[in-house]
């Protein structure tokens, strides 16, 4: 597993409306939850030209967004606090999923204010489960090189 620097740049965030709509409306996404957070994720289609242009240092391919509904917390201060906690937990543990071109949305589901340990535990749980799913799908699909080596 490649180690990535624990930073979060704009290239790692989902902020375009069409990307958000694709994540939630097209039906290609999967969902799982580790209370108090739900993760919705999908593979982002990549082209060969994207891969050839990236000869710079290894950059994470996973992108994310965080949503804390207003019906859970009316005050923006509390919503922003939860977003900050989730963002920090993701930043420290993104190496679990950064090698795949994923779009991940973290959605808060609880009405109580969490502590940092609870949020970190939930985010790590979700990222580990997404890692397992992605590693399983990569093993199931044979590559052209693996077909020729079996003969």
pLDDT of amino acid 130: 96
Kindly state the helix (H) or strand (E) to which residue 50 belongs, with its residue range. helix 48-53
Which of 91-121 are b and which e, b meaning 16 or more Cβ less than 10 Å from the residue's Cβ? bebbbbbbbbbbbbbbbbeeeeebeeebbbe
Q: Is the pLDDT of residue 98 over 50?
A: yes
What values do phi and psi take at 107, rounded to 5? -120, 125
pLDDT-derived band at 49, boundaries 50, 70, 90: low
CA distance 16 to 19: 5
| Residue of higher predicted confidence among 48 and 142 | 48
Q: Is the pLDDT of residue 95 over 50?
A: yes
Centroid of chain to Cα 84: 15
| Residue of higher predicted confidence among 148 and 107 | 107
pLDDT of amino acid 47: 64
Please give the mean pLDDT across all residues of the chain: 85
| Residue of higher predicted confidence among 32 and 1 | 32
Q: Any idea which residue has 């970190």 for tokens?
A: 120
pLDDT of amino acid 52: 52
**Region 47-66 average pLDDT:** 67
First to last CA, the chain: 29
CA-closest candidate to residue 86, choices 109, 55, 58, 53: 109
pLDDT of amino acid 50: 53
Q: Is the pLDDT of residue 96 over 70?
A: yes
pLDDT of amino acid 141: 53
The alpha-helical segments, DSSP class H, found in 26-105 are 48-53, 76-93
CA distance 134 to 148: 24
Task: Kindly report the pTM of this predicted structure.
Answer: 0.81
Q: Which structure tokens are listed for 90?
A: 């993701």
pLDDT of amino acid 9: 87
């Amino acid at each position: 597993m490649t180690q990535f620097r624990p930073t979060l740049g704009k290239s790692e965030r989902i902020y375009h409306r069409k990307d958000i709509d694709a994540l939630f409306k097209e039906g290609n996404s999967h969902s799982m939850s580790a209370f108090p957070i739900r993760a919705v994720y999908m593979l982002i289609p990549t082209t060969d030209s994207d891969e050839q242009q990236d000869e710079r240092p290894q950059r994470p391919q996973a992108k994310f967004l965080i949503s804390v509904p207003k019906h859970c917390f009316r005050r923006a201060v509390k919503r922003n606090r939860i977003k900050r906690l989730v963002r920090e937990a993701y930043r420290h543990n993104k190496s679990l999923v950064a090698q795949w071109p994923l779009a991940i949305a973290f959605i808060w589901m609880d009405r109580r204010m969490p502590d940092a340990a609870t949020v970190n535990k939930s985010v790590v749980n979700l990222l580990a489960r997404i890692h397992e799913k992605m590693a399983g799908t990569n093993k199931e699909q044979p590559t052209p090189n693996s077909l020729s080596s079996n003969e």
